[in-house]
Structure formats: C-alpha cells, structure tokens
Amino acid sequence: MALPNIGGLASAGPDEILRPVRPWFIVATFAVAFVGNLLPLSGVALALKPDFVALLLLYWCIQEPRYVGVGIAWWIGLLMDVGDGTLFGQHALAYAFLAYAAEYFRRRVLRFPPWQQAAQVAVLLGLTSALVLLVRFVGGAPVPRWTYAVPPAVGALLWPVLTAAIQSWQRPQPSKSAL
Amino acid sequence: MRHISIEPPAFFHRGPAPITRLAFFGLISIALLFVDTRYHYLEGIRRVVAVALYPLQRAAQLPGELLGDIAVYFASLRSLTEENTTLKRQLVERASAAQGFAAAQQENARLRTLIDLGSRYPAGATAVEVLYSSRDPFAQRLYVGKGVDAELHPGEAVIDADGVVGQVTRVFPSMAEVTLVTDKDQAVPVKVQRSGVRSVLYGSGAGRAPELRFMAPSADIQAGDVLVTSGLDGTYPPGLAVAKVATVDRETGQMFARITCTPLAGVDRSEHLLVLAKSTATPPRPEEPAESDAAKRPGKGRRKGAGTP
C-alpha cells in the first residue's frame, strides 16, 4: 500500500527511477532537521517531538549508504549533543549505532512498502533511545517518565511522510521539450 | 538502488567494515561520555561548537517568535485590560511589602556594619526571558535569552516573582542554561521560615517532588511550612522563598522523616526570570573539615549544586 498520490507527493514505486541525489541536498535536509530538533518547544509539543535528525539519518543510511554512514552519523551526533546540552558522546554513540543498524537492515527494510517500513523504523528508533537510556542510567540519571517512549513512535509514523517528501524532490521533472 | 548511479559502482574502496567503524566510534563516544561526566574539560569545545550552531538555533526560534507576534497582534483589548488590572493590583499589593523590605534591609545593613559583617545581598539583577525548556528528558533545565553579553556567570541564582527557580549552570554568548531546583543534581540549602531549622532541598527529577533528606523524625517541620534559602552555600542569597512543605511522613522505624515539598516558583511556567548577580562580599570558605566531621553529615558537599560550582 502506497500513500495516496496527492500532487505528486508519494514515495516511489518499485518500477520508478529517481534522479540521483546530490550531496548538497543531503546537507540541506540535515540543516532542516537540525532546525526541527532545535525548535523551542515546551510541554506536550516537546513530549511528542520526534528526533528529526535521527529519522533523517536513518533515511539516508538506508537509501544512500555511500554518502552517509557510521562516521558521518557520529559527527552529526556530536553536533546534536551540543545543541541539546546533553553529555558529550550520548547522541554520537546513539547515532553511530543507528547508522550501523540501518546499514545492517537496509536491504531487508527496502523490500517493504512505506507503512511496513515504518514498523521496522519504530524498532530501530526505539532501540536507539533505549541505548541513550542505558548510557544515562550509567551516568546516574533518574528514570524518565513514560512519555520517553513517545518520540520514537511519532518518528516512525512520520517515516512514510518523510520518504514521500524526499522522493518527490528526486522524481524526474517532465521535460518541456518532449513534445 | 532505484536510481541511475552517476558513478561507477564502488565495489572495492569502501573502507573498513561498518562493524569496525561502529566499534571505533563507539569507543570514542564512551571515552567522551566518561570524560564529560567525570571531568569538565570539554566545556571549551562545547562553547565553540555552540557558536557554530547559533544560526540554526536562531532559525529554529523564528517560527515561535512569529507566532508570538501574531498572537500579540490579535490579543483582544479586553484580555489586555484584564491583565493590566491584575498587574496593577499585584503592584500595589507588593509595594507595601517592598517598602517594608527596603527599610528592613537598611536597618539590617546598619546593624551588620555595627557588628562588622559584610553585606549578604546580591550586587545586582538582570531580567531575562525564557527561550525554551531543555530537550534532554533526563534533566530539568531551561534556556534564557541572555548570556555573556549581559555578564551572566555560572552559579548565579535565578528567581521569579514567587521564589527561587534555579541557578545558571552554563553561559553561551547570548544564551544561558538554568538548572531548575527540581533537577536531580540540584541541592538548595534552606531553612524553615517558621522554626529556623536548617536543611538541604534536593531535586528529584521530572515530575517528582523535591525532598528534604536526612531530617530526623523529630525535626520541627510541618506540612505548609515555607522554606527559604539559608544563604549558607554562597550561591543563593539568604531569605529567598524556595518551596512549601507538602507532606511530612514520620514513619516510626525509619531513621529519617520523608518530607516532600512543592516549589513556590513557577519552575516550569514562568516566562520572565531574574538572575541575581553574586554578592562580591562572600566570606572566604573555611578549610575543608576533617574526615570525621564530613562523615557526620551524609550527602552534603557531594552534590554538584550545593557548593560553589
């Protein structure tokens, strides 16, 4: 089952050929995801906010493993550690793990339609936040509230939307000189 | 791959295997985590990277500011009038208290000069606005919109109209991080306003009430007592309201009473805060007590928040 094709915003079918992605496009999407993560939210919105950077990282690690891998993920994690004011290495470790898991599972994940991919993404994002939890427990952090489990689920729900949005950029434009 | 590759397939030069890379970067991360938790060597690097991230941070604040502007534009005359009336009433209510306080402060200063003690009141204050609360679910922090530019320093007390909110813990070029009194690593030296009993208020993390620990079951504390800062740590000036005692559980058989408190300040609601500059006339700290003395006071002096940071 694919998303309903509204205004060309849909993920690519298995028979469709997309334009190759350019490195600057990956960088631009990460800048947008960073802004999303740094949004000054409080209360319910903060409890719901998924980790956009982790989600995007997972996307590029699955779709473009030649450009984005464990190393890039680690550096992005360090940036996120500064942005969030968390312990140095916390996000870096989590993102490196996420990139590795994505590399390991990518051939499997890509075989499924977006909504079924989302379920597997939920597991990967959940494992990543469990890793963060473990790291913070060792550092003596208190048990977080149950809302800690919400952002990975929201992130997984956003996966089909993210896939559709990015792939609609990569879809070849109909050439005007064709007729 | 579902697209046409513009490069020849990279079958051979792909560097080390992913698991090797994960092990390498994982080990570096763990080393960094260890260094950052135990020692605070990395604050300089953090500050440099924070400057690089600043444009993105500003960009992230734009939508919120825009929404705020729109909300102000559409605020009804009626709600503004109501707010104005409330504020005027509060101003009058507090004016009498403030005048009494000014007189008492003068008298106190005179008396302290007589007995040759330095001033204990803060040197000045800076009004700041809360930007957002921390995205780290394990910590109770918030970020305010002034930093080095307004000469804020780590360790300064932060209050709102009702009481102590926390203390400044990190300062960035135009932003500062405030750790709230509800954070697990925060401790505020307090005394009970009614009876003068001294204690330390420990934060317990998100969603949990701060506690007074290590208080004997016979201590003179009742539910409803107001706790004010005792000023013993040199971080918080004395006499600021901190919390109200919510429950006192004197279970027989326990060595200590279990006392939970509710912060008086709107630690997660206030939008406008006041950062109190540190009094310059803090007396020098005494020599570290001998080991036998330290053993008598369990828990104290081991926490990050209690002493001078």
Domains in chain B, number: 2
The answer on B84 and B56 residing in a single domain is no
Structure tokens at B87: 């504020």
Q: Are A87 and A42 in contact (CB under 8 A)?
A: no
Task: Name the closest residue on chain B to residue A72, using Cα atoms.
Answer: B25
Residue B270 covered by a domain: no
Cα of A65 vs its chain's centroid, Å: 13
pLDDT for B118: 56
pTM for the structure as a whole = 0.76
Q: How far, in Å, CA of A10 to CA of A25, rounded?
A: 18
Structure tokens at A73: 């993920």
Q: Which residues of A39-74 are buried (b: 16+ CB within 10 A; e: fewer)?
A: bbbbeeebbebbbbbbbbbbbbbbbbbeebbbbbbb
Q: Which residues of B155-183 are buried (b: 16+ CB within 10 A; e: fewer)?
A: bbbbbbeebbbbbbbbbbeebbbbbbbbb
Residue B187 covered by a domain: no
Q: Are B129 and B271 in contact (CB under 8 A)?
A: yes
pLDDT for B235: 83
Residue B35 covered by a domain: yes
Residue B239 covered by a domain: no
Residue B175 covered by a domain: no
Contacting B residues, span 212-231, partner chain A, CB-CB under 8 Å: none
The answer on B82 and B55 residing in a single domain is no
**Least CB-CB distance to B131: which of A40, A66, A71?**
A40
Q: Are B123 and B237 in contact (CB under 8 A)?
A: no
Task: Name the closest residue on chain A to residue B143, using Cα atoms.
Answer: A40
Q: Could you tell me if B131 lies within 8 Å of chain A, comparing CB atoms? A: yes
Q: Are A61 and A103 in contact (CB under 8 A)?
A: yes
What domain range includes position B51?
Answer: 16-62
Show residues of chain A in contact with B61, CB under 8 Å.
40
Residue B191 covered by a domain: no
The domains found in chain A, sorted by start residue, are: 23-169 (1.10.1760)
CB contact under 8 A, A35 and B30: no
Mutate one of B24, B33, B49, B129 to test the A interface: name it (highest A CB count within 10 A): B33
Distance (Å) of CA A135 to CA A129, A130, A131: 10, 9, 6
Q: Could you tell me if B17 lies within 8 Å of chain A, comparing CB atoms? A: no
Q: How confident is the model at residue B134 (pLDDT cuts 50, 70, 90)?
A: confident
Contacting B residues, span 261-280, partner chain A, CB-CB under 8 Å: 268
Q: How far, in Å, CA of B173 to CA of B47, rounded?
A: 8
Tens of pLDDT along A27-39?
Answer: 999 999 999 988 8
pLDDT for A14: 61
**Least CB-CB distance to A38: which of B42, B60, B268?**
B60
Mutate one of B43, B138, B143 to test the A interface: name it (highest A CB count within 10 A): B138
Contacting B residues, span 33-72, partner chain A, CB-CB under 8 Å: 33, 35-37, 42, 45-46, 49-50, 53, 56-57, 59-61, 63-64
Tens of pLDDT along B76-106?
Answer: 788 888 989 999 998 988 888 888 888 888 8
Q: Are A80 and A37 in contact (CB under 8 A)?
A: yes
Residue B56 covered by a domain: yes
CB contact under 8 A, A83 and B53: yes
Placement of tokens 């070849």 in the chain: A172
Last residue of a domain, one of B85, B102, B119: B119
Distance (Å) of CA A170 to CA A18, B3, B297: 6, 9, 65
pLDDT for B4: 58
pLDDT for A175: 66
Show residues of chain B in contact with A69, CB under 8 Å.
18, 21
Q: How far, in Å, CA of B132 to CA of B68, rounded?
A: 13
Which of A165-169, B5-9, B59-63 comes out lowest in average pLDDT?
B5-9
Q: Which residue has the higher pLDDT, B22 or A19?
A: B22
Question: Which helix (H) or strand (E) element contains residue B258?
Answer: strand B257-263
Q: Are A124 and A62 in contact (CB under 8 A)?
A: no
CB contact under 8 A, A37 and B134: no
Q: Are B132 and A42 in contact (CB under 8 A)?
A: yes
pLDDT for B87: 92
Residue B268 covered by a domain: no
Which of A37-41, A132-136, A144-148, B118-122 comes out lowest in average pLDDT?
B118-122
Q: How confident is the model at residue A4 (pLDDT cuts 50, 70, 90)?
A: very low
Q: How far, in Å, CA of B243 to CA of B3, rounded?
A: 62
Q: In terms of C-beta distances under 8 Å and separation of at least 24 residues, what long-range contacts does B6-14 make, across chains too?
A: B6/A20, B10/A66
Q: Does residue A99 surpass a pLDDT of 90?
A: yes
Give the residue-averaged pLDDT of B187-198. Answer: 91
Q: Does residue B250 surpass a pLDDT of 80?
A: yes
The answer on B86 and B55 residing in a single domain is no
CB contact under 8 A, B36 and A88: yes
CB contact under 8 A, B26 and A147: no
Q: Are B29 and A96 in contact (CB under 8 A)?
A: yes
The answer on B88 and B57 residing in a single domain is no
